[in-house]
Amino acid sequence: MCGIIGYVGGGNAAEIILGGLKRLEYRGYDSAGAAFLSDGKIQLIKKQGRVEKLAPLLKEIHSRTGIGHTRWATHGVPSDINAHPHCAGGIAVVHNGIIENYAELKAELISGGAKFVSDTDSEVVAHLLLKNYRGDLVFALRETVKLLKGSYALMAICESEQRIAVARHKSPLIIGYGADGNFCASDEPALAGLCNTITILEDGDIAEISEKSVKIFDRFFNPVTRNEEPNLAVSASLGLDGYPHYMLKELNETPLSVEATARAFEGVKERFREELAGVRRVILTGCGTAYHAALIGKRYIECFARIPAECETAGEFRYKNPVIDEHTAVFAVSQSGETADTVEAARLALSLGAKVIAVTNSHRSELTRIATVSVPVAAGPEICVAATKSYTGQIAALYLSAAVLAGEKFYADCAEKIRLIPNLLTLTLESLDMRSLAHVCASSSGVYFLGRDLDYAVALEGSLKLKEISYVAGEGYPSGELKHGTLALIDVNTTSVVIITDEELAGKSGNAVEQVLSRGGKVAVITSLEGVKEKFSGKLPLVVLPKCDKYLSPLLSAVAVQMLAYKAAAVLSREIDKPRNLAKSVTVE
């Protein structure tokens, strides 16, 4: 989940690396560092904490070649010592991924006299490079990766060569071609505004990057040519456009996300229909927020198309020996398209003969590259670690996908209904007032989100968001499960948030409200139903949403629970955009 960037050329490497790391910080922000070639020596700067801590330390660096890293810790606590780059002799390396056999490699290196200074798995790569170095860094990297098990995107420099050697296996890595040098990075945003064309490396590739040229070799070390593509990343301002946090800014972009996703779906609708003809069973998989969107997609597919559907977290799915054949479609949902568990789940499904549908906000990701067909989420760049507009974009994409499976007439009706949603989302955002309820949640010992059917899926998302950014404990539960254990947790110090948007299930969910009240617990209700509003008005806090089709109600209630989480985190003065211990793109298991 770390972010890496490299540059070799005629420009100011320190300035370029720093700017790239700032754009990559969503991938990890426990520590940051960089290594530069200057007068034939490596200059190493690294610090625990955010990328901004590097800025004053890089002002005096004069270099044309450098590599940088922003870290999400896997092995070893966040610290200056464990920050990347790692060095051995005159070689420096940065790494995104996990070296699964690092302990064995480290023991062998130590027995040979190597001295380790960090607790990371990545430092073994630096020592292996030094051991394998015979005057050619690319050759040393080739020999080194033969010994590695796990996942890696690697960049290395050494004091005797004015070039960068890179390698990729199950972690994203791209090369950028600039007018005054060449680049490498974890993904396109790092290179926004720096180059017009890029190449996406494939698993097993090794490359040599110099100021004037790029040479790429495949897993057998044969020279290969990979496609050059336009760099579509926009050199966007990192400004907040007047908002105090990116999360609030991106919540307010939810209407545009749904509108753009519905528009983008039209471009893939026919291919999607052709590829899924004859499908008899659907599996949806994802992690975190994407899994919650998949739960909603499952209900859409079963209700609209009457095709059996099931939902699995990707980390469980890939290890359960799933029953899959050529009549199975697997929807792999991932904001980044690089989520390790989801990508590997998709690979497994393909190997078993399934059609794989990528539902992602990143249209050049590994997931889109391996999928049978991609359904675009057009949410645009999302900087806050906690997903908001990408989640509602995923719901919109799954809604339209299910509608296609149900037939042309049904799809036309659904396409018309979803056109109304951006205006309803705007109305929702303008009318939400979560300040009072946010204070209640912020002071609670636990917050329990309850709902039935689609409302239950949103309850899970509400609970996750509150935990992610406010650190207030709690869970999401089906309303009917309240009395099967959870009721024991209810007291005057807890708060329950009950979501009720389905007329047919309103009475059942209303019973859960009464059960919590009778045990002295605090309760709030989020509803779009007039009858529910009348029943509980004056008795408890009500969040009233605009009335809409029940199958599209998750788009409105999701915004409500996400806004509640945002406001509660603000009450507690949390670092909302970069919550502790988390990163946006989870590229390791």
Instruction: Please name the helix (run of DSSP H) or strand (run of DSSP E) that holds residue 344, with its range, or none.
Output: helix 340-351
Dihedrals phi, psi of 474, to nearest 5 degrees: 165, 180
The amino acid at 22: K
Residues 6+ apart with CB under 8 A from 562: 251, 386, 388, 391, 461, 462, 465
Check residue 191 and report its DSSP letter: G
- b/e code 302-324 from CB counts within 10 Å (16+ = b): eebbebebebbbbbebbeeebeb
Closest CA to 286 of 391, 419, 406, 158: 391
Place of tokens 């010992």: 445
Contact 131, 160 (CB under 8 A): no
Burial of 244 (0-12, 13-18, 19+ CB in 10 A): exposed
Contact 308, 282 (CB under 8 A): yes
- b/e code 546-558 from CB counts within 10 Å (16+ = b): bebbbbbbbbbbb
Could you give the residue numbers annotated as active site? Answer: 2, 584
Measured between alpha carbons, how far apart are the two ends of the chain, in Å? 10
- Write out the two tokens for 441: 């949640």
Contact 181, 212 (CB under 8 A): no
Dist. CA 274–CA 277, nearest whole Å: 5
- Beta strand extents in 456-577 (DSSP E only): 474-478, 494-500, 522-527, 542-544
**What is the edge-to-edge ordering of all strands in the sheet holding 41-48?**
41-48, 31-38, 65-71, 3-9, 181-185, 174-178, 197-200, 229-230
Residues 6+ apart with CB under 8 A from 171: 96, 97, 151, 152, 153, 186, 587, 588
- b/e code 487-525 from CB counts within 10 Å (16+ = b): bebbeeebbbbbbbbbeebbeebbebbebbbeeebbbbb
